[in-house]
């Protein structure tokens, strides 16, 4: 094969693809049922592998916490899987592992999660185990103590590693006086004060049908799994714990924090408040984020890594949030290049507001964004999680299709407009290494 | 574009014909020039996984070439005679796919995940990268700095730092005792000629395997592969054998200070190589010891004694030799107690053996690892490519059955033979909060 023919084939192929409609990598029908308590059950049949995955999401997390209870949702999740009224912590672990499975839990800002997986032939046992964990927790004092210690160690871990350290510092500056600014793990002081009674009250307030979604994906029949879920979770208390307390408005500190500490690399992060999921600008900001720092062809990677060799890792993230979104651009670089990297990152961000993207760049960003979204929804664990997440954030089971249409409709003018709207003033955190 | 340094083959690749996941055996063929092609038609996804596996890694490097395998891997994305730097990433991402690569001690692999209609295109591009990489001197100088950033990134992560240093201590002077990312001095000295020479020597048809998994037609793929890879002449290449098996290192204890608040400790023993008849017993042993939450170390040290925040055991079964490691995150004052407790658990297995329940749990975990690891086309391709490159598809297929046949007595014997002798210990002590 001649080199010339390779190039021709590549170019023609690429154009052909860009002219064709997007291809979805994944598709699955979601069966949805609502129990009398308000609990939502979701089941997807997927016979691709003899496995099942289950996600239980509860609408409770960092955004419902105060300074003195920071970390309570995450701590509760960890204690839930450490014993029920009839199973010890070891019995839970042992049972899950005998199914070739796993069971774990954690808190997040907008929700808390219990996740389980097993070989498909054990799906009934897995559901029974997860229902027991969610509905009959022991919250044993010894386990509360142990998990409190683990959470404190987790916080120390984050302080020991430059990237999480810088990220947490940025969140605190982006969201001062707002629950999103506090680490999901909490604070050392709040964790130390959380006791069994507080956890139990938190559990009773939030583990209610109206706030819970149980989502399953795997090698099962929905006609069997949905009734089984209904039976196992029938005892969930009704209701949703009453009206929500309004969230405070997020007002970012538009400043530049420089921290000096021993490390091999400098870390530079620039953050911006951005729209939440469901907002009319959400899709345009997703395209913006992808053009800036998504994949290896995003501007940060192409310019700061490929052309200027300033970094190994650089990019941008824009996670989905219910209350208030944010976009973070990041680069890790040699100490000697920190100044140049910060200026380069700032320049790439500013360019988005002053120059329109090319149509080719816009097309790449859209295809990449939607392609990764589809590729991420293929394993049972991810399928179960996404279905539950769409439900818990209130965007519904047709979100993926509506989101794809919104992304396709974004224009270069939209991207420039949202760049000007949301990326005008950064909050900057820079970690400068001191000698180790 | 990453180095895959530690815990490389715990659980090995796959076990196709056994268990409740009877995937069809993939087609495997060898072209006249020695190039190997593995195809698995799988219609559960619209995505196709293309993976080009090359039998080159840290184990193949002379002292003056430390880090060349990984550096060359980066350079394959920096342009070919026909394609500009950045073209591959841009085009793959432009159709919604993804691409990247990884380098280990024993292999380098390049992957593309694409809409299946783009399979032929992707194969042609991979062939171009494999044989016509440009190694432009300007790009080479830039990419060298990127590799140094990758090294710095690893230095800042205590767990990857611990893992890498444990390998260095467990395999002193052996190819696995040198970092895959290389030696800065050798990387600085690398020229276009030396790096391209290394690439030309190792990137030859008989040292490569292409794995294609997805909704494809095997006949069409064969035609594309014959055109893209079949025309390259074989070179008579034979991979240099590894030196004899690594000897058990002298007992060695090292304490290093690092900025931070947490301490880490790692213990390591030399263990059977990949394919060794005792590999299966060691794999079960390591799972029972510290491979899961229900494992002995987790239950004893984390849940009951509360001596550690995290603890785990791993088995890296490599071609030349294996390594069993136990790593834990601990309070600085508890390091000695943790070491003693780990040795006590091992002694317990050596003296009293393991239970049927523990054996069953370990086999179930291995079966599940195989099932969950192969839910996606790229997971399946990874299993095939790794098995073909460092072991064999047959060995991979039989793996689960071999694990099922391991007896409690064999596990006990493995504990006595491999984990009661000399070992190395590395402790990372916090030097203070650092700010």
- Written in H, E and C, the secondary structure of chain B is CEECCCCCCCCCCCCCCCCCCCCCCCEEEECCCCCEEEEEECCCCCEEEEEEEECCCHHHCCHHHCCHHHHHHHHCCCCECCCCCCHHHHHHHHCCCEEEEEECCCCEEEEEEEEHHHHHHHHHHHHHHHHHECCCHHHHHHHHHHHHHHHHHHHCCHHHHHHHHHHHHHCCCCHHHCCCCCCHHHHHHCCHHHHHHHHHHHCCHHHEEEEEEECCCHHHHHHHHHHHCCCCCCCCCCCCCCCCCCCCCCCEEEEEEECECCEEEEEEEEECCCCCCCHHHHHHHHHHHHCCCCCHHHHHHHHHCCCEEEEEEEEEECCCCEEEEEEEEECHHHHHHHHHHHHHHHHHHHHHCCCHHHHHHHHHHHHHHHHHHCCCHHHHHHHHHHHHHHCCHHHHHHHHHHHHCCCHHHHHHHHHHHHCCCCEEEEEEECECCC
Task: Write down the H helix ranges in A335-379.
Answer: 338-354, 359-375
pLDDT of residue A10: 34
- β-pair partners for A41: A33, A214
Confirm or reject contact between B125 and chain A (CB < 8 A): yes
User: Residue A28's pLDDT band (boundaries 50, 70, 90)?
Assistant: low
Task: Return the pLDDT at B44.
Answer: 81
Nearest residue of chain B to residue A20 (CA atoms): B95
Residues on chain A touching B148 (C-beta within 8 angstroms):
334
* pLDDT tens digits, one per residue of A75-101: 999 999 999 999 999 999 999 999 999
Instruction: Name the residue of chain B whose CA is nearest to A7's CA.
Output: B82
Residues of B in contact with A3 (CB under 8 A): 80-82, 128, 132
Is residue B259 within 8 angstroms of chain A, CB to CB? yes
Residues B35-89: pLDDT tens digits? Answer: 999 999 998 889 999 999 999 999 999 999 999 999 999 999 999 999 999 999 9
Contacts of B156 (CB under 8 A, 6+ apart): A161, A162, A163, A263, A264, A265
A364 or A12, greater pLDDT: A364
- The C-alpha torsion from B363 through B368 and B370 to B375, rounded to 10°, is 170
pLDDT mean across residues, chain B: 92
Residues of chain B with Cβ-Cβ distance to A161 below 8 Å are: 156-158
What integer is the mean pLDDT of A32-39?
96
* Partner-chain contact B372 A379, CB within 8 Å: yes
Shortest CA gap A426–chain B (Å): 24
- The pLDDT value recorded for residue B29 is 97
Contacts of residue B351, defined as CB under 8 A and 6 or more positions apart, other chains included, come to: none
Give yes or no for a contact between B46 and B115, defined as CB atoms under 8 angstroms apart. yes
Q: Cα dihedral sign for A2, A3, A8, A10?
A: positive
Least confident of A122-131, A239-248, A311-320, A338-347: A239-248
Query: Could you tell me which residues come within 8 angstroms of residue B142 by beta carbon, excluding any fewer than 6 positions away?
Result: A306, A307, A308, A309
Query: Which chain A residues contact residue B261 at CB under 8 A?
Result: 156, 159-160
Please give the share of chain B, as a percent, with pLDDT higher than 70: 94
Of A1, A160, A296, nearest to B260 by CB-CB distance is: A160
- The minimum CA-CA distance between B293 and chain A, rounded to whole Å, is 7
pTM recorded for the entire structure: 0.93
Q: How far does CA B189 lie from the centroid of its chain? A: 27
Binned at pLDDT 50, 70 and 90, residue B10 comes out as very low
pLDDT band at B434; cut points 50, 70, 90: very low
Chain A environment of B91 (Cβ under 8 Å):
10, 14
pLDDT > 90 in chain A, percent: 88
Mutate one of A3, A5, A6 to test the B interface: name it (highest B CB count within 10 A): A6
CB contact under 8 A, B357 and A94: yes
- In angstroms, the CA B363 to CA B278 distance is 16
Spatial separation of the C-alpha atoms in residues A432 and A436, rounded to whole Å: 12
Query: How do residues A321-372 score in pLDDT, each as one tens digit?
Result: 998 999 999 999 999 999 999 999 999 999 999 999 999 999 999 999 999 9
In whole angstroms, give the CA distance from residue A60 to residue A123: 26
Interface probe with B: pick from A82, A161, A217, A296, most Cβ of B within 10 Å: A296
Reduced to 3 states, what is the DSSP secondary structure of residue A398?
Answer: coil
Binning pLDDT at 50, 70 and 90, where does residue A306 land? very high
pLDDT in tens, B199-252: 999 999 999 999 999 999 999 999 999 999 999 999 999 999 999 888 877 889
Inspect the interface and report whether the beta carbons of B94 and A101 lie closer than 8 Å.
Answer: no
Per-residue confidence band for A3, with pLDDT thresholds at 50, 70 and 90 = very low
Residue A249 is predicted with a pLDDT of 87
pLDDT score for B428: 97
Q: Is the pLDDT of residue B187 over 80?
A: yes
Mean pLDDT of chain A: 92
Report chain B's C-alpha Rg in angstroms: 22
């Amino acid at each position: 094969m001649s080199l010339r023919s390779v190039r021709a084939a590549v170019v023609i192929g690429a154009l052909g693809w860009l002219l064709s409609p997007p291809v979805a990598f994944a598709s699955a029908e979601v069966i949805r049922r609502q129990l009398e308590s308000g609990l939502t059950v979701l089941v997807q049949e997927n016979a691709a592998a003899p496995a099942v995955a289950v996600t239980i999401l509860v609408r409770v997390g960092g955004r419902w916490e105060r300074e003195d209870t920071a970390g309570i949702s995450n701590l509760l999740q960890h204690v839930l899987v450490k014993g029920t009224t009839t199973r010890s912590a070891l019995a839970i672990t042992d049972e899950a592992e005998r199914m070739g499975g796993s069971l774990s839990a954690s808190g997040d800002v907008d929700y808390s999660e219990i996740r389980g997986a097993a070989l498909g032939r054990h799906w009934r046992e897995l559901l029974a185990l997860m229902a027991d964990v969610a509905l009959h927790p022991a919250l044993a004092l010894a386990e509360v103590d142990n998990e409190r210690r683990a959470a404190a160690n987790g916080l120390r871990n984050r302080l020991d590693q430059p990237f999480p350290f810088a990220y947490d510092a940025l969140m605190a500056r982006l969201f001062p006086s707002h629950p999103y600014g506090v680490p999901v793990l909490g604070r050392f002081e709040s964790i130390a004060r959380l006791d069994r009674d507080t956890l139990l009250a938190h559990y009773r307030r939030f583990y209610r049908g109206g706030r819970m979604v149980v989502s399953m994906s795997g090698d099962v029949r929905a006609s069997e799994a949905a009734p089984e879920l209904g039976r196992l979770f029938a005892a969930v208390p009704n209701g949703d714990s009453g009206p929500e307390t309004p969230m405070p408005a997020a007002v970012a500190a538009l400043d530049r924090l420089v921290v000096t500490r021993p490390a091999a690399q400098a870390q530079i992060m620039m953050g911006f408040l951005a729209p939440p999921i469901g907002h009319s600008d959400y899709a345009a900001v997703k395209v913006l984020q992808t053009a800036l720092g998504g994949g290896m062809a995003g501007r940060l990677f192409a310019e700061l890594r490929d052309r200027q060799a300033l970094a190994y890792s650089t990019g941008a993230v824009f996670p989905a949030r219910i209350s208030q979104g944010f976009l973070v651009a990041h680069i890790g670089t040699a100490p000697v290049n920190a100044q140049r990297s910060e200026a380069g990152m700032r320049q790439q961000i500013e360019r988005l507001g002053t120059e329109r993207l090319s149509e080719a760049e816009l097309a790449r960003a859209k295809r990449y964004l939607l392609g990764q979204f589809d590729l991420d929804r293929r394993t049972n664990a991810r399928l179960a999680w996404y279905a539950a997440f769409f439900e818990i954030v209130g965007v519904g089971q047709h979100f993926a299709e509506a989101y794809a249409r919104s992304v396709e409709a974004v224009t270069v003018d939209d991207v420039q407009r949202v760049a000007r709207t949301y990326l005008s003033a950064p909050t900057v955190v820079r970690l400068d290494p001191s000698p180790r | 574009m990453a180095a895959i340094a530690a815990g490389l083959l715990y659980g090995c690749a796959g076990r196709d014909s056994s268990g409740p996941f009877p995937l069809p055996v993939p087609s495997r063929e060898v072209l006249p020039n020695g190039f190997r092609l593995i195809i698995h038609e799988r219609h559960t996804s619209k995505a196709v996984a293309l993976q080009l596996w090359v039998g080159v890694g840290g184990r193949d490097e002379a002292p003056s070439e430390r880090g060349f395998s990984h550096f060359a891997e980066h350079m394959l994305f920096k342009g070919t005679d026909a394609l500009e730097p950045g073209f591959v990433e841009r085009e793959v991402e432009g159709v919604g796919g993804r691409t990247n690569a990884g380098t280990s001690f024993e292999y380098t692999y390049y992957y593309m995940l694409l809409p299946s209609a783009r399979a032929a295109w992707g194969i042609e591009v991979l062939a171009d990268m494999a044989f016509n990489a440009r190694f432009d001197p300007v790009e080479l100088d830039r990419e060298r700095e990127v590799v140094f950033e990758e090294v710095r990134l690893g230095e800042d992560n205590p767990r990857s730092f611990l893992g890498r240093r444990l390998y260095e201590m467990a395999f002193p002077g052996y190819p696995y005792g040198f970092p895959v990312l290389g030696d800065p001095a050798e990387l600085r000295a690398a020229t276009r000629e030396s790096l391209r020479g290394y690439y030309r020597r190792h990137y030859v048809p008989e040292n490569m395997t292409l794995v294609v998994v997805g909704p494809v037609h095997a006949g069409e793929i064969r035609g594309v592969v014959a055109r893209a890879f079949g025309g390259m002449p074989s070179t008579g290449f034979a991979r240099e054998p590894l030196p004899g098996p690594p000897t058990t290192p002298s007992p060695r204890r090292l304490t290093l200070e690092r900025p931070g608040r947490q301490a880490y400790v790692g213990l390591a023993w030399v263990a059977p190589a990949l394919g060794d008849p005792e590999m299966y017993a060691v794999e079960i042993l390591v799972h029972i010891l510290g491979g899961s939450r229900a494992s002995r170390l987790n239950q004893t040290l984390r849940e009951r004694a509360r001596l550690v925040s995290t603890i785990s055991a791993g088995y890296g079964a490599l071609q030349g030799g294996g390594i069993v490691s136990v790593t834990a995150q601990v309070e600085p004052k508890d390091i000695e107690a943790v070491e003693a407790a780990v040795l006590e658990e091992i002694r317990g297995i050596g003296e009293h053996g393991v239970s049927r329940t523990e054996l069953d749990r370990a086999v179930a975990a291995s079966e599940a690892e195989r099932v969950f690891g192969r839910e996606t086309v790229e997971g399946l391709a990874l299993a095939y490519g790794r098995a073909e490159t460092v072991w064999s598809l047959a060995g991979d297929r039989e793996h689960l059955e071999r694990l099922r046949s391991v007896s409690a007595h064999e596990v006990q014997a493995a504990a006595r033979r491999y984990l009661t002798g000399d070992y190395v210990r590395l402790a990372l002590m916090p030097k203070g909060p650092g700010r």
